[in-house]
C-alpha cells in the first residue's frame, strides 16, 4: 500500500513537470512570434503552423526550452520589442548581428540570466550601454561593435567575471577606459570611438589595433603626455600614428590662407571646365547613330516594315535600329567561317554550332532589350517575331589588333561543353565588337540569390544549389583541360547563367584576354585572388579561388560585396572562416538551406571545399578536377539520402562548451 502511494505521488509529479515544460515551451513560442511580428526579416520563413518552435530555422532547444536564437544577417528591422526576452529565460546564445535593428536594448533582456553568448554587432542600436546588462554575470562572449552606442565604458563591466571576448569597436563611446580586471579576457576591441586617457595596465598586453581611432595613450600605443614640466606633449596614437604639435604652429599665416583660397578658386574653375568638356563629348556621342552594318538605304526599305522597337535602350536612335538588331541584320548565313557581308560592311562570323533560323525581314522586326552592363560590355536580348531569342554582347575597351582578336575569339568559339554558354557568332570592326550567344531564360545566379527577397521568392533548395555548383565546376574544369594556360579570368555569380531547368552555364569565358587595362581595376570585386595583379593574366589557381568564393556565396546567400560584410578589408572568405572558427558552423548557412536536415553534413563539406579553394596560398588550392570530383561525391551522397523538408534542429554544443 505504501509503495502504491509513492508510485501515485511520482506519477502526479511527472505529469506536473511535463505540463509545466510544455507550458514553458508554449510561452517561448509566443515570445518568438512576437519577435517575428515586430522585426520581420527572414523569420517570415518560420513554419508557424508547427506547435513547437524547436524546428524553426535559427532556433535551438534544450530540455523543451529555447536555448539558442541565431538570426544573423536576416534583414531584421526596427526595434526589439519589450516582453520577448522575459519569456526566453533559458537563452544561452543570442545572435542578432548584421541586421538593421535600431533603438535601445530592451530592458527585459535582464531576465536571460543564463546567457553566455550575446552577439549584437552590425546593427544600429543607440543610447548608452544599459546598466541592467551587467547583471548577466555568466556572459562569456559580448559583441556590441558597429552600432551607435554612446556614453562611457562603465566600471560595471568588471561584473563579467567569466568574460573572454569584449568587442565595442565602431561606436560613439567617450570618456576613459576604466580599470578592467577581467582575468579571463582573451579578446578586446574598443577602436574607432571617442575614448581618451591612458590604457589600463591590465589591457596593455593586447595589440594596438584594439585601441586605434581614439585619443588613447600608453602601451601598446604612444607614451602618454609628459608631466615633468618641460612643456613637451606627445599626443596619443591615432590610426595613422600622427603626432600633433600643439602650439602656435597650428595657426596658418595670412599668406598661406590667401594661397589656399586662390588655389581653391582655380581648382573649382578647372573642375567646371572638365565637366563641361565631358558633357559636350557625351552629348555628341549620344547624338551620333551607332551603325555597325552600314546598310544601304534601299536595303532597309522593305514594304510595310517599321523600325525595331527597343526596350530600355536609346541605342541606334539615329537610324531606328538597335545594336542588337544591327548585329542580327548581318546574321544571314551560317556554317564554320561563314561570313556575311552587308553592303560592303565588316563581316559577322559564325561557328559550326550556329544555324540560320531567321531572315532579314524577321530581324528588322526584332526588339532589343538591355539585359545589363557587365565587366566587358553591355548585353542585349534580341527577340524575333518567329520566337528565336539571342543574346548580344557589345564589348568595350578592346585594344588588341583584329588579327589577334580573331585568333582568340576563334578559340572561345571552339569551346563546346554543356555547362558553357556557347558563342554562336562574332562581329569585328574598328568601332564595334559584338558577340552573339544563346539566350539563358532564367538569368544569372547572382540575380537568383540576391534579387527578389520578398514574399513571392521561391527558395533555392539544396538540390538546386548543389547542382548549380556541380555544373559550374564542370564548365570551368573543361576550360582548364584545354591547356595549362587556359583560364576563365572572371568567375563570379553574375557569369553563371541558368536554363529553364536551373542547369548552370558559365559565360564570359576567354574575354579577359580581349580587353584593355581600363576595364581591369574593378573586375570581379570580392572574387579576385590575392596574388592577381593584372586581371588580364589570371592563372587556373586564381580561377579556383574565385570559384571558392562563388561556393561560399551559394551556401551563405551573401554576396562578396554585401554591405553588411564589407567593412574595410573584410571579405566573404574571411567572414566565413571567422564564423566557423569562433562559433557554430550552422550560423554561416543561408536560412533557406537550414530546413534540409539530412544534408547538413554535405553542406558542411561543400563549405569546407569553398574555404579550401579560397585559401590565400595558390599552391595548396585544389585543382578544378579535384573540386569537381568532390562535388560529384557530395551530390551522389545527397541523392542516396531521403531529404527531409523539415527545418533543421540546431546543435548547441558550442553553448555547452562555454559552461
- Tens digits of per-residue pLDDT, 326-350? 444 444 333 344 444 443 345 667 7
Indicate the pTM of the whole model: 0.52
CA gap 106, 129 in Å, rounded: 11
DSSP string for residues in 582-642: HS-GGGGS-GGGTT-GGGHHHHHHHHHHHHHHT-S-GGGSPPHHHHHHHHHHHHHHHHHS-
**Preceding amide of 220 cis, omega within 30:** yes
Task: Judge whether 393 is annotated as a binding position.
Answer: yes
Looking at the chain, the number of H-run helices and the number of E-run strands are 13, 24
Q: How many residues does the chain have?
A: 659
pLDDT at 137: 92
Angle at which helices 624-640 and 540-556 cross, to 10°: 30
pLDDT at 47: 79
- Check if the beta carbon of residue 553 is closer than 8 Å to that of residue 497: no
CA gap 356, 421 in Å, rounded: 18
Alpha-helical runs (H) found in 40-102: none
pLDDT at 538: 86
Provide the strand spans (E) within 85-177.
93-95, 100-103, 117-119, 124-128, 141-143, 148-150, 165-167, 174-175
Distances (CA, A) of 94 to 123, 482, 515: 14, 50, 49
pLDDT at 372: 78
DSSP string for residues in 321-367: --HHHHHHHT----STT-EEESTT--EEEE-TT------HHHHHT-E
Identify the segments of the chain with pLDDT beneath 70: 1-23, 226-263, 265, 269, 277-348, 352-366, 384, 386, 452-459, 516-525, 561-570, 581-586, 595-598, 637-659
Geometric angle at alpha carbon 568, from 564 and 569, rounded to 5°: 105
- Residue 130 C-alpha cell reads as 544599459
pLDDT at 356: 56
- Residue 489 C-alpha cell reads as 579570368
- Check if the beta carbon of residue 68 is closer than 8 Å to that of residue 655: yes
Amino acid at each position: 500500500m505504501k509503495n502504491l502511494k509513492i508510485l501515485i505521488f511520482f506519477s502526479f509529479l511527472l505529469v506536473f513537470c511535463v505540463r509545466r515544460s510544455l507550458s514553458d515551451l508554449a510561452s517561448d513560442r509566443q515570445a518568438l512570434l512576437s519577435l517575428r511580428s515586430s522585426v520581420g526579416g527572414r523569420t517570415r520563413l518560420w513554419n508557424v503552423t508547427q506547435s513547437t518552435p524547436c524546428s524553426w530555422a535559427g532556433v535551438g532547444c534544450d530540455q523543451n526550452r529555447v536555448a539558442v536564437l541565431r538570426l544573423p544577417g536576416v534583414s531584421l528591422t526596427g526595434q526589439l520589442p519589450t516582453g520577448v526576452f522575459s519569456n526566453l529565460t533559458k537563452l544561452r546564445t543570442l545572435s542578432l548581428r548584421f541586421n538593421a535593428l535600431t533603438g535601445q536594448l530592451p530592458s527585459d533582456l535582464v531576465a536571460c540570466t543564463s546567457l553566455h553568448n550575446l552577439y549584437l554587432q552590425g546593427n544600429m542600436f543607440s543610447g548608452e550601454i544599459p546598466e541592467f546588462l551587467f547583471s548577466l554575470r555568466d556572459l562569456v562572449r559580448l559583441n556590441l561593435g558597429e552600432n551607435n552606442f554612446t556614453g562611457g565604458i562603465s566600471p560595471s563591466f568588471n561584473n563579467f567575471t567569466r568574460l573572454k571576448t569584449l568587442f565595442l569597436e565602431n561606436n560613439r563611446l567617450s570618456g576613459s577606459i576604466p580599470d578592467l580586471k577581467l582575468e579571463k579576457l582573451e579578446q578586446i576591441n574598443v577602436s574607432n570611438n571617442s575614448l581618451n586617457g591612458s590604457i589600463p595596465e591590465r589591457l596593455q598586453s593586447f595589440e594596438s589595433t584594439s585601441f586605434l581611432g581614439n585619443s588613447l595613450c600608453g602601451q601598446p600605443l604612444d607614451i602618454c603626455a609628459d608631466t615633468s614640466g618641460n612643456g613637451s606633449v606627445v599626443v596619443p596614437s591615432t590610426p595613422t600614428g600622427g603626432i600633433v604639435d600643439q602650439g602656435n604652429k597650428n595657426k596658418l599665416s595670412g599668406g598661406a590662407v590667401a594661397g589656399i583660397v586662390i588655389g581653391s578658386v582655380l581648382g573649382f574653375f578647372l573642375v567646371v571646365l572638365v565637366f563641361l568638356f565631358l558633357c559636350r563629348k557625351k552629348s555628341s556621342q549620344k547624338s551620333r547613330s551607332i551603325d555597325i552594318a552600314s546598310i544601304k538605304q534601299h536595303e532597309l526599305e522593305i514594304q510595310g516594315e517599321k523600325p525595331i522597337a527597343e526596350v530600355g535602350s536609346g541605342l541606334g536612335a539615329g537610324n531606328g535600329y538597335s545594336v542588337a538588331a544591327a548585329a542580327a541584320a548581318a546574321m544571314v548565313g551560317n556554317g564554320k567561317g561563314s561570313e556575311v557581308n552587308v553592303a560592303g560592311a565588316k563581316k559577322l562570323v559564325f561557328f559550326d554550332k550556329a544555324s540560320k533560323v531567321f531572315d532579314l525581314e524577321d530581324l528588322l522586326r526584332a526588339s532589343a532589350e538591355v539585359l545589363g552592363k557587365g565587366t566587358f560590355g553591355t548585353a542585349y536580348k534580341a527577340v524575333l517575331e518567329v520566337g528565336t531569342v539571342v543574346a548580344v554582347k557589345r564589348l568595350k575597351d578592346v585594344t588588341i589588333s583584329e588579327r589577334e582578336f580573331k585568333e582568340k575569339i576563334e578559340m572561345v568559339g571552339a569551346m563546346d561543353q554543356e555547362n558553357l554558354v556557347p558563342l554562336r557568332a562574332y562581329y569585328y570592326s574598328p568601332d564595334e565588337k559584338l558577340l552573339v550567344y544563346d539566350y539563358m531564360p532564367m538569368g544569372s545566379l547572382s540575380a537568383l540569390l540576391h534579387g527578389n527577397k520578398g514574399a513571392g521568392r521561391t527558395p533555392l533548395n539544396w538540390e538546386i544549389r548543389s547542382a548549380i555548383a556541380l555544373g559550374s565546376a564542370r564548365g570551368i574544369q573543361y576550360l582548364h583541360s584545354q591547356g595549362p594556360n587556359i583560364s576563365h579570368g572572371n568567375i563570379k555569380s553574375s557569369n553563371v547563367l541558368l536554363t529553364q531547368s536551373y542547369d548552370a552555364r558559365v559565360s564570359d569565358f576567354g574575354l579577359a584576354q580581349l580587353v584593355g587595362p581600363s576595364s581591369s581595376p574593378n573586375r570581379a570585386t570580392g572574387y579576385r585572388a590575392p596574388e592577381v595583379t593584372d586581371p588580364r593574366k589570371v592563372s587556373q589557381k586564381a580561377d579556383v579561388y574565385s570559384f571558392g568564393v562563388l561556393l561560399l556565396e551559394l551556401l551563405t546567400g551573401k554576396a562578396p560585396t554585401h554591405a553588411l560584410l564589407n567593412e574595410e578589408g573584410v571579405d566573404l572568405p574571411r567572414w566565413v572562416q571567422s564564423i566557423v572558427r569562433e562559433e557554430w558552423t550552422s550560423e554561416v548557412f543561408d536560412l533557406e538551406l537550414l530546413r534540409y536536415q539530412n544534408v547538413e553534413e554535405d553542406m558542411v563539406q561543400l563549405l569546407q571545399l569553398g574555404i579550401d579553394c579560397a585559401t590565400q596560398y595558390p599552391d595548396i588550392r585544389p585543382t578544378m578536377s579535384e573540386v569537381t570530383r568532390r562535388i560529384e561525391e557530395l551530390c551522389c551522397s545527397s541523392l542516396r539520402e531521403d531529404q527531409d523538408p523539415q527545418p533543421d534542429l540546431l546543435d548547441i554544443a558550442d553553448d555547452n562548451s562555454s559552461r
